[in-house]
Amino acid sequence: MGEIMIGNTMMDAPLTLLALLERAEELFGDQEIISWIPDPNDRSDRPRPLVHRYRYADACRRSRQLSSALANLGVQRGDRVATLATNHYRHLEAYLAVPCMGAVLHTVNVRLPPEQLIYIVRHGGAEVLLIDHLFARLIPPLLANCPALRAVLVMGGPQGLAASLGDKVFDYEAQVASGDPYFVYPQLAESEASGLCYTSGTTGMPKGVVYSHRSTILHALSAALPDTGNISRHDTLLPVVPMFHVNAWGVPHSGLLAGSRLVFASIYNDGASLARLMESERVTGGTGVPTIWMGLADALEEAIGAGHPYQLQLKSLLIGGSAVPEALIQRLDRLGIQAIQGWGMTETSPIGSISRLPPGIDLGSELGGHLRAKQGPPVPLIQARVVDASGADVPRDGVTMGRLLVRGPWVAERYYLSDSTDQVVQIGGQNWLDTGDIASIDGYGFIDIRDRAKDMIKSGGEWISSVFIENLLMDHPAVAEAAVIATPDHKWGERPAAVLVLRSGAAASEEDFRQHLMDRLDRFPKWWLPDRYIFVPELPHSSVGKVLKRALRERYGLTPPG
């Protein structure tokens, strides 16, 4: 038995992004893509939006033209093409054109300080850069500091802008117009690199993660499943999460694969603009970090208060990037919008888990509420485990904390141009990625992220979940934002302090917050109560909107002595 190995009889069709482009061309040519883009002739700090509309057929044709133009500029298989751009149709064209021609799309975070941004472009080694006209001031320093950069294509902006910036700078539209709309793509292997993205550096220097065609396609498929992103041809999707941040969580890929209507907001990410855009384009689903949706909730509530509610078709919002406060989930529920939490990281492409409820548990029930505030079970094809210091699995009791490890076809095991294997743990002959997150896992398989290892508070040898206390504080009506951080303590090693930003016009005292937490002592041990409350006008945020706890500790002199 088992001596004769039979070969399978399936075709060896590679999983590449070309399949996605060809499907879009063949089946969804009429589907719409809508972008709000800044008026190029409005020179104010906040140019008014222009609405750009076209169809999948246009996007695909222009992508082939872009590939052809890039090939004429000398871009070859494996070369990097960087983008410094907000969310819009031209960025989407780069999403298709660059990987389909066998080059690697390096999406760079436009919100980083210039030195970090230049470091990332240079480290990535891009030959060509596609850049929004809004960031044209960065072109001279980038050309001066990135020796591999041979050409820059400026997207949008007033006429003559590119020509005024030197002989390596070209107008994107002119380049596309010069390209061949019938450009023939090469046959690629699914293991070839398709994308490059750097971690946003919340806890250290940015590191590059290289995605493959295979990882991108498998991620797009899993992300579209009903219990993941539930993405269909009948949807109109608005990815507010930037296209430079882990491929906008893969929404462009899943959306194109499904044939969804796509809407892009460029720089118009404030609550009122998003509400207007969602109303006018009948958006059914959106993706973004909690702060974005807090802004949307403010705008929607304000409009209701003023007696002119927005008429939305919005069914659900996928929220992730940092812990989603239960208070936000409930607020969105009251507005008739289902909030779904997801967890992931640059290294996981990014979707690792999604918090959809198992059958038999109501959204509105107490258990449902608790589970939705967790990060959920791993999505199909991702495995997750939570381990203690010896590498043994912690009990699935929803209480015991340990390090969260994941593995799967879209999980990175190394960084670009790095030999470090620090992030990999070997268990039973398999590689697992140590996420750097501290979590518990419960009987439903729901992961609950309690902290990042580097933000963790260890008091008397025991962990305190800062995220948990932050969430309880965010429940208080006077709180706009809360961060719980470690402060050095002679006796306990570390003790928690709460740093609070109050809503404008709200007043509450330290005593109010102490009482607010004391009233909820059935949910956590008393020694987790913060020792100090610090009131500040604002919290420091990373370029993608995460609270920088390290900076907070430094700013308020809470780092350990020495």
Question: What amino acid positions are annotated as catalytic residues?
Answer: 199, 347, 458, 463
Whether the Cβ atoms of residue 295 and residue 317 lie closer than 8 Å to each other: no
Task: Find the angle CA(60)-CA(65)-CA(66) to the nearest 5 degrees.
Answer: 95
Tally: H helices and E strands in the chain: 15, 25
Of 20 and 289, CB closest to ligand ADP: 289
| Four-residue CA torsion sign, 109, 113, 114, 116 | negative
The token pair that represents 550 in the structure block: 């390290």
Whole-angstrom CA distances from 104 to 99, 195, 454 are 6, 5, 32
Of 194 and 202, CB closest to ligand ADP: 202
Residue 142: CB atoms within 10 Å: 22
Whether the Cβ atoms of residue 173 and residue 61 lie closer than 8 Å to each other: no
Could you give the CA distance from residue 186 to residue 21 in angstroms, rounded to a whole number? 13
Local structure of residue 547 (DSSP, 8 states): B
Of 18 and 323, CB closest to ligand ADP: 323
> Which one, of 457, 276, 243, 451, lies nearest residue 350 by Cα?
243
Of 302 and 434, CB closest to ligand ADP: 434
Minimum Å gap between C-beta 233 and ligand ADP is 27
Minimum Å gap between C-beta 499 and ligand ADP is 18
Minimum Å gap between C-beta 534 and ligand ADP is 23
Minimum Å gap between C-beta 538 and ligand ADP is 19
Whether the Cβ atoms of residue 96 and residue 68 lie closer than 8 Å to each other: no
Of 314 and 438, CB closest to ligand ADP: 438
* Total residue length of the chain: 562
Per-residue buried b or exposed e for 269-297, using 16+ beta carbons within 10 Å of the residue's own CB = bebbbbbbbbbebebbbbbbbbbbbbbbb
Whole-angstrom CA distances from 56 to 31, 260, 336, 381, 407 are 6, 10, 31, 29, 34
Minimum Å gap between C-beta 256 and ligand ADP is 22
Q: Phi first, then psi: give them for residue 98, nearest 5 degrees.
A: -70, -55
Minimum Å gap between C-beta 437 and ligand ADP is 5
Local structure of residue 347 (DSSP, 8 states): G
Minimum Å gap between C-beta 490 and ligand ADP is 30
Per-residue buried b or exposed e for 179-200, using 16+ beta carbons within 10 Å of the residue's own CB = beeebebeebebebbbbbbbbb
Of 260 and 346, CB closest to ligand ADP: 346
Whether the Cβ atoms of residue 471 and residue 398 lie closer than 8 Å to each other: no
Minimum Å gap between C-beta 295 and ligand ADP is 18
Binding residues for ligand ADP, per CB under 6 A?
Answer: 199-203, 320-324, 341-346, 375, 435-437, 449, 452, 546
Of 103 and 209, CB closest to ligand ADP: 209
DSSP codes of every residue in 31-48 = -EEEEEEE-TT--SSSPP
What is the 3-state composition of the chain as percent helix, strand, coil, each rounded to the nearest 5? 30, 25, 45
Of 31 and 230, CB closest to ligand ADP: 230
Whether the Cβ atoms of residue 101 and residue 185 lie closer than 8 Å to each other: yes
Minimum Å gap between C-beta 352 and ligand ADP is 8
Of 208 and 259, CB closest to ligand ADP: 208
Of 250 and 342, CB closest to ligand ADP: 342
Strand 128-132, strand 80-84: pairing: parallel
Whether the Cβ atoms of residue 151 and residue 175 lie closer than 8 Å to each other: no
Minimum Å gap between C-beta 447 and ligand ADP is 9
Residues 6 or more apart whose CB falls under 8 angstroms from that of 313 comprise 236, 278, 282, 283, 284
